[in-house]
């Protein structure tokens, strides 16, 4: 199996690139942000709980996010691999992912981190907000909080996999095609 973590701050292009990578490598794209938005759209109890965090740009508690991720993986066992987008967001989530894959004698193949500076992120997310319909994309203070949460809670996940020799930084500035090529070059070295 190929199990990739597509990493990087909000607005770094994870979703855009994951959609292309899943096609090329025949993987299942799992975006926890998209799963939360689906639950919120259906006003489920999970969606209602997640909403209170997401609208502030905070992280949903690990137990909720890990449970949802596990359900999604277990519902799709017969795939060539996964691209995790927006997960893990904390070291506890990374440890839970390792346990989940370990139960199937699998492991994370690589973490690819899209590097984009803060001002570019704010600009990109505000632009995306014009059409995404996401309240958390339309308020600069929420966007800046998401970046802060990324730096404090999520960035350590890079180091966690770096210690295992699995983390790679990818320049996230350029055309979608250029960034896709950089990601493919990195992935092809790992498989």
Catalytic site positions: 14, 89, 128, 134, 146
Cα Rg of the chain (Å, integer): 16
Residue number with CB closer to Mg ion (99 or 176): 176
Closest CB 31 distance from Mg ion, rounded Å: 6
For residue 86, what are its two tokens?
């927006």
Q: By CB under 5 A, tell whether 15 contacts Mg ion.
A: yes
Half-sphere exposure of 162 (CA within 13 A, CB side): 9
Closest CB 189 distance from ligand C5P, rounded Å: 26
Instruction: List the one residue from 54, 83, 96, 170 that touches ligand C5P (CB under 6 A).
Output: 54
Distance CA 161, CA 107 (A): 11
Half-sphere exposure of 58 (CA within 13 A, CB side): 9
Residue number with CB closer to Mg ion (70 or 128): 128
Residue number with CB closer to ligand C5P (127 or 181): 127
For residue 47, what are its two tokens?
């969606």
Nearest to 35 by CA among 20, 56, 21, 49: 49
Binding site for ligand C5P (CB under 6 A): 10, 32-33, 36, 53-54, 57-60, 65, 86-87, 89, 136, 146
Binding site for Mg ion (CB under 5 A): 15, 33
């Amino acid at each position: 199996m190929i199990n990739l973590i597509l990493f990087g701050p909000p607005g770094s292009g994870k979703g855009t690139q994951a959609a292309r990578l899943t096609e090329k490598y025949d993987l299942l794209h799992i975006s926890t942000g998209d799963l939360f938005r689906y639950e919120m759209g259906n006003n489920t109890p999970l969606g209602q709980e997640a909403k209170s965090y997401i609208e502030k740009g905070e992280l949903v508690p690990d137990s909720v996010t890990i449970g949802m991720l596990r359900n999604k993986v277990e519902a799709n066992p017969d795939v060539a691999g996964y691209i995790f987008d927006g997960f893990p967001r904390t070291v506890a989530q990374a440890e839970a992912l390792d346990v989940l894959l370990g139960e199937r004698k699998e492991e994370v193949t690589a973490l690819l981190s899209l590097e984009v500076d803060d001002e570019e992120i704010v600009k990109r997310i505000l632009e995306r907000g014009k059409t995404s319909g996401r309240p958390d994309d339309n308020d600069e203070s929420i966007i800046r909080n998401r970046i802060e949460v990324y730096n404090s809670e999520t960035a350590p996940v890079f180091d966690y996999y770096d210690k295992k020799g699995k983390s790679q930084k990818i320049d996230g500035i350029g055309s979608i095609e250029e960034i896709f090529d950089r990601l493919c070059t990195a992935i092809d070295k790992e498989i």
